[in-house]
Amino acid sequence: MTGPFAYRESYTNAELGKYIKKYWVLDNSLNSQALVNKSVVPNGSFNIAFISGGGIAITHHGYTQTTLKEGVYLCGQLKSSVEICLNPYSKITLVQLYPWTVAMFSNFPQQQSANQYIPLEEINAQLCRNLKGVDFYDEAYIIDFFQQKFGAFLQKNTSSYIVEEVSSLIKNSKGEINIREIAKSLRCSTRLIEKKFNLSVGMSPKEFSTIIKIRNLISSLAQKQTPQSMAQLALEYGFYDQAHFIKTFKKIAQISPGKFEAGKYLLALQDT
């Protein structure tokens, strides 16, 4: 029996929704053909990925390939788009976490996880033990586990507080706020903010701001029927000139904005 690739999303309740952004599923479990020529763009989130079947190949910058076999991984922050090849009869259920959530259940230094895929056991061994024996094809069980039990693993701390506040300020400003304004708002030093953010998220607040800005722009491009000029886009999204805009977009999306095609990307069904 064979069937087409399917992409699904679901969301959690308001309380847990402070920590889990969404659940999303790449389902190629009934397909005898690999899913190829699809890319994933950064959005400033972590993911816990449950991989079943033949696994997935992930290509960074067109040449560095990582192959993930069946297992559970923490997917670190992406700093640029990746191309995926989801093998036949494979399925991935992902729990997408807000940038501050990982600091609430792990002391793993996240500056080592950017663009990396870390076995969950190295991130939180107890959480991994609680998932022992889970059928990685069982999307409903995985989601129910996080709905019912994940909250018990979360503990607020100074790092998670700073990351949540900084991330919220950046998101609300659509990436337009700078580190000095953030420090003033939080009444702490820029050095402390950058240190905590790098340690807990795996990138600087400035890098995070750029990703939020470009991701917002990509969502807009995917929805608009009438194309805009590069100059209009640069102005609308706060870039000081067209050349800077094109360079930044290409660095994150791995393609120039003029060649962007939404159909080649796995984009969220609903922006949150």
- Looking at the predicted structure, is the pLDDT value of residue 183 above 70? yes
- With the C-alpha atoms ordered 60, 197, 109, 201, is the resulting torsion angle positive or negative? negative
Confidence (pLDDT) at 241: 83
Confidence (pLDDT) at 2: 64
Confidence (pLDDT) at 232: 82
- pLDDT tens by residue, 113-163: 999 999 999 999 999 999 998 999 999 999 999 999 999 999 999 999 999
- pLDDT tens by residue, 153-168: 999 999 999 999 999 9
- pLDDT tens by residue, 19-37: 999 999 999 999 999 999 8
- Looking at the predicted structure, is the pLDDT value of residue 226 above 60? no
Helices 158-172 & 179-186, crossing angle to 10 degrees? 120
Summarize the confidence of residues 93-101 as an average pLDDT: 98
- For the full predicted model, state whether its pTM sits above 0.85: yes
State which fold the 6-153 domain adopts.
Answer: Jelly Rolls (2.60.120)
What distances in angstroms separate CA 267 from CA 212, 217, 270, one per listed residue?
14, 12, 9
- pLDDT tens by residue, 34-90: 999 899 999 999 999 999 999 999 998 777 789 999 999 999 999 999 999 999 999
- pLDDT tens by residue, 229-250: 778 878 888 888 888 888 999 9
**pLDDT band (50, 70, 90) for residue 268:** confident
**Residue 179 Rama label (left phi>0; alpha psi -120 to 50; beta):** alpha
